[in-house]
């Protein structure tokens, strides 16, 4: 009588199966959840002591000779002298300028670097560096630990950060904070479109355009932040 063929796998094949399962699992969504959680925990633990954080956004493509770079550097220097902690995305361009200005003022300078296929090398002016795989975790850190957003001219990434922050304020998902756009000439076309198209179509309320301020100088950035919190404090006193 012939023996029935067995489907039992050899010990080597079983090891291979377990290895394949493990490799697949760590790249699957259940494992990714734990990696996301670890980034949140690390970010919260390491940024907990930040006080008066101001996040700078803007193009990574401008050189140190560009007027936007120089203005960002001066703005960060001024804010650092007034006790604010400068927070950037850790890269080049406007981010480097802000970290550089903070360092030259002997202030605190934080870089939240994002790990990309095209590696972003953190600039050399950062006092404290954290790295993230996920954009949305990194955005939470910007939002949670900032008392103001300073937005210099930039591209898609800058616009993403700008509009997400405005949407969070608009929908009361975060406490209102000053959102300051720097360089009136650069932003006026966008603002004109918001006023003449989005407001006209009913996609925005006119008063929602007051969620941001446009300025031109470092002194105006500082003044806008101070004015915002002075007025907010006055409103809170009246409610009492």
**What's the pLDDT tens digit per position in 186-233?**
999 999 999 999 999 999 999 999 999 999 999 999 999 999 999 887
Residue showing tokens 């616009």: 159
Residue 151, pLDDT above cutoff 80: yes
What does the pLDDT read at residue 240? 65
Band (pLDDT 50/70/90 cuts) for residue 111 is: very high
Of 166, 96, 155, the C-alpha closest to 125 is 96
Contact (CB, 8 A) for 151 and 180:
yes
Contact (CB, 8 A) for 56 and 62: no
User: If you count DSSP H runs as helices and E runs as strands, how many of each does the chain have, helices first?
Assistant: 9, 7
pTM score, whole prediction: 0.86
Among candidate residues 28, 43, 45, 25, the one with its CA nearest the CA of residue 133? 43
Is the model's pLDDT at 3 over the cut of 50? no
The whole-angstrom separation of Cα 144 and Cα 223 is 22
Mean pLDDT across 121-138: 95
Tell me the CATH number for domain 50-239: 3.40.50.450
First to last CA, the chain: 95
Residues 16-32 have pLDDT tens digits of 454 454 455 456 777 88
Contact 154, 59 (CB under 8 A): yes
What is the token pair recorded at 130? 């954290």
């Amino acid at each position: 009588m012939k023996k029935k063929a067995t489907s039992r796998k050899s010990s080597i094949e079983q090891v291979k199966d377990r290895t394949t399962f493990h490799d697949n699992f760590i790249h699957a969504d259940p494992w990714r959840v734990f990696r996301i959680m670890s980034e949140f925990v690390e970010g919260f633990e390491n940024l907990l002591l930040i006080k008066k954080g101001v996040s700078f956004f803007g193009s990574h493509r401008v050189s140190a000779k560009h007027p936007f770079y120089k203005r960002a550097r001066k703005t960060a220097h001024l804010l650092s002298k007034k006790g604010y902690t400068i927070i950037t995305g850790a890269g080049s361009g406007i981010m480097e300028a802000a970290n550089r200005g903070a360092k030259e003022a002997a202030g605190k300078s934080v870089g939240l670097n994002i790990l990309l296929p095209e590696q972003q090398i953190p600039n050399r002016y950062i006092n404290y560096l954290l790295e993230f795989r996920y954009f949305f975790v990194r955005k939470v850190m910007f939002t949670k630990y900032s008392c103001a957003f300073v937005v210099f001219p930039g591209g898609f990434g800058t616009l993403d950060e700008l509009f997400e922050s405005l949407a969070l304020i608009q929908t009361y998902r975060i406490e209102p904070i000053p959102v300051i756009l720097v360089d009136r000439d650069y932003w006026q076309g966008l603002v004109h479109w918001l006023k003449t198209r989005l407001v006209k179509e009913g996609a925005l309320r006119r008063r929602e355009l007051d969620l941001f301020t446009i300025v031109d100088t470092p002194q105006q950035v500082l003044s806008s932040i101070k004015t915002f919190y002075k007025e907010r404090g006055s409103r809170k006193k009246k409610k009492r």
